């Protein structure tokens, strides 16, 4: 260690000690092993990459579509069935039988109070 820790230059002596200590045995053999591993593991081609990329997204889309369908069905079932006969019956009797035109307020109130 010939240099101050403040020095921004490389410390060749410390560097050499670290290289020797961390180098590990049989470097040529190690590099051959790495090269052999690469040759034995061919890279995924573009279709594999696309496949790997798209599979989770297709799943997510399918789940989202299913959820939307389920929500749609749920809302559909939550609404009362519309029956024109019930609409007429819900009007006040005098509005139906009277010869006079019913007041707008009465019609609106009847519509609002419909079950």
Partner 1 sequence: MDDAELAQAAARGDSDAFGGLIDRHGMAARRAARAILRDDDDADDAVQEGMLAAWRAIDRYDVARPFRPWLMRIVVNAALDARRRGRVRHAEPIAETLESGGLGPDRMAEASLLRARIDAGLAELPERQRIALVLFDAEGWGHAEIAATLGVPEGTVRSYVFHARRAMRRALGTLAEGMK
Instruction: Note whether 51 binds partner 1 by CB under 8 A.
Output: no
Chain-centre distance for alpha carbon 87 = 44
Contact 10, 1 (CB under 8 A): no
Residue 111: its H or E element: helix 104-112
Which one among 8, 81, 82, 97 touches partner 1, defined by CB under 8 A?
8
Q: How far is the CB of 75 from partner 1 (least distance, A)?
A: 44
Instruction: Note whether 54 binds partner 1 by CB under 8 A.
Output: no
Q: Which CB, 21 or 112, lies closer to partner 1?
A: 21
Instruction: Note whether 43 binds partner 1 by CB under 8 A.
Output: yes
Instruction: Note whether 2 binds partner 1 by CB under 8 A.
Output: yes
Contact 81, 65 (CB under 8 A): no
Q: Which two tokens stand for residue 28?
A: 């040529």
């Amino acid at each position: 260690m010939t240099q101050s820790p403040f020095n921004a230059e490389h410390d060749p002596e410390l560097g050499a000690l670290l290289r020797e200590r961390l180098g590990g045995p049989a470097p040529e053999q190690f590099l051959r092993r790495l090269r052999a591993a690469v040759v034995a593991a061919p890279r995924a081609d573009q279709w594999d990459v696309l496949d790997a990329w798209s599979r989770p997204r297709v799943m997510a889309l399918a789940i989202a579509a299913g959820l939307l369908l389920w929500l749609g069905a749920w809302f559909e079932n939550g609404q009362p069935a519309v029956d024109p006969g019930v609409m007429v019956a819900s009007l006040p009797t005098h509005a139906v039988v009277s010869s006079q035109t019913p007041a707008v307020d009465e019609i609106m109130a009847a519509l609002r109070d419909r079950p």
